[in-house]
Amino acid sequence: MAKRVKQGGEPSLYKKTRVAESPDAFYDKNPSWNLHKCDKSGGSWCVNHSVLNDDIYKKLSDFERMTWKEIVKQTGGPKKGTNNHFIGFKDLDKKAQNRLIKLNLVNLSDNLFSLRLNGRTRLFGFLDESGIFSILWLDKNHEVCPSIKKNT
């Protein structure tokens, strides 16, 4: 017997049509923070309550007043590049690569993002399409992704 096709009927009030967002739609959003991916045993980069001090909270609060587009455009001055940017897996220090593998997070490495908090301090995490930054590491010495530039 052939399958019978439903015709007509009322659409469900609970079903929503999904609209695919542009992959770059997060640029127009304000950041929000997520702590569920924090590496609490990542050695010198671990993120726990004792390392999240007032200075870091203030910087994150300052970022919340900006869009991701404004955050990404921040530069370190002429010819110094951007302060905040995506980081490729290959650009990470070998120890950081191994840590991502151990944490089983390599599949998210295309979304790995670096936020500059001050001179050498960086906050690493995963930035998703909705503008949520899932904090992974706090790097106080620019070790996760070493720079070849002077004084960084």
* Residue 71: Cβ within 10 Å count: 22
Predicted confidence band of residue 103 (pLDDT cuts 50, 70, 90) = very high
Asked if 107 and 90 count as a contact pair (C-beta separation under 8 A), the reply is no
**Shortest CA distance to 42 belongs to which of 96, 94, 90, 89?**
96
Does an H or E element contain 57, and which? helix 54-64
Asked if 39 and 134 count as a contact pair (C-beta separation under 8 A), the reply is no
pLDDT at 138: 94
Predicted confidence band of residue 98 (pLDDT cuts 50, 70, 90) = very high
DSSP secondary structure letter of residue 150: T
95, pLDDT greater than 90? yes
> What would the pLDDT profile of 17-62 be if each residue is shown by its tens digit?
555 567 678 899 999 999 999 999 878 898 877 777 888 999 999 9
Whole-Å CA distances, 130 to 57, 64, 87? 21, 14, 18
**Shortest CA distance to 145 belongs to which of 105, 89, 70, 103?**
89
For the chain, the domains span: 33-139
Predicted confidence band of residue 5 (pLDDT cuts 50, 70, 90) = low
64-72-48 Cα angle (round to 5):
55
Dihedral of alpha carbons 140, 111, 108, 21, sign: positive
Can you tell me the mean pLDDT for 101-123?
93
Predicted confidence band of residue 15 (pLDDT cuts 50, 70, 90) = low
pLDDT at 151: 55
